[in-house]
Chains A and B, each alone.
Chain A
Amino acid sequence: EAGVAQSPRYKIIEKRQSVAFWCNPISGHATLYWYQQILGQGPKLLIQFQNNGVVDDSQLPKDRFSAERLKGVDSTLKIQPAKLEDSAVYLCASSKQDYTDTQYFGPGTRLTVL
């Protein structure tokens, strides 16, 4: 069974530029999560999708971050414009149903904002 795929693995941009990350969850998983992991901290949930609907985006900085999950499969997370404090690893995870099911994580995208 293929795992959660993410791309790119690394991205370096300058502040005020825009960037997009892509995630393809495990086939058949209804729930998809985007986490932000800042160096030295645990992952923080940014947004949770159930199929193609948003369940929780309370910690998503909506003035600069956006995410979509078209057709309930893969997803993109966008930052526009980026700030220095957005430097982090962005992890995508998926589970069959909700958070009580095992979440399977992708390898992450390491973003550096200069």
Chain B
Amino acid sequence: AQSVTQLGSHVSVSEGALVLLRCNYSSSVPPYLFWYVQYPNQGLQLLLKYTTGATLVKGINGFEAEFKKSETSFHLTKPSAHMSDAAEYFCAVSPMEYGNKLVFGAGTILRVKS
């Protein structure tokens, strides 16, 4: 069964510092991979996704993630944190098979200090 592990339920960074949110998955075949962001009292918004092709994926708001098959990882990064990045971030996976569901990690709350 698919599973997703997000290391660190809370991450705190200073404004302008590097943001690194970790995601590891378990899958017998390389899956599709997603990062979503959730602001308070709002639904989830897609940041970026990896399906095939280039393993470094660029998303909205300056975020990017790299798919590393050998490490079964899909970590999210942003070179310089902004106060508006404070939110909860979810990693999700889905196998490349029609009809299988999206499986989310437990989420990481990002706090940005001024």
Interface residues of A (CB under 8 A from B): 4, 40-45, 48, 55-56, 58-59, 91, 93, 98-100, 102-108
Interface extent on B, as a size class?
20 to 34
Contact A98 B101 (CB under 8 A): no
Bound-state CA distance A42–B90 (Å) is: 7
Bitwise, B49-81 to A at CB < 8 A (1) or not (0) is 101000000000000000000000000000000
Instruction: Summarize A's interface: helix, strand, loop or mixed.
Output: loop
The answer to whether residues A99 and B102 also contact, given A41-B107, A42-B92, A43-B90 and a CB cut-off of 8 A, is yes
Interface residues of B (CB under 8 A from A): 4, 9, 32, 36, 41-46, 49, 51, 90, 92, 94, 96, 98-102, 104-107
| The one of B9, B32, B104 that contacts A100, using a Cβ cutoff of 8 Å | B32
Contacts of B41 in A (CB 8 A): 107
**Beyond known contacts A40-B107, A104-B43: 17 more, CB 8 A cutoff:** A4-B43, A41-B106, A42-B90, A42-B107, A43-B90, A44-B104, A58-B101, A59-B101, A93-B43, A98-B99, A99-B100, A99-B101, A100-B32, A100-B96, A104-B46, A105-B43, A108-B43
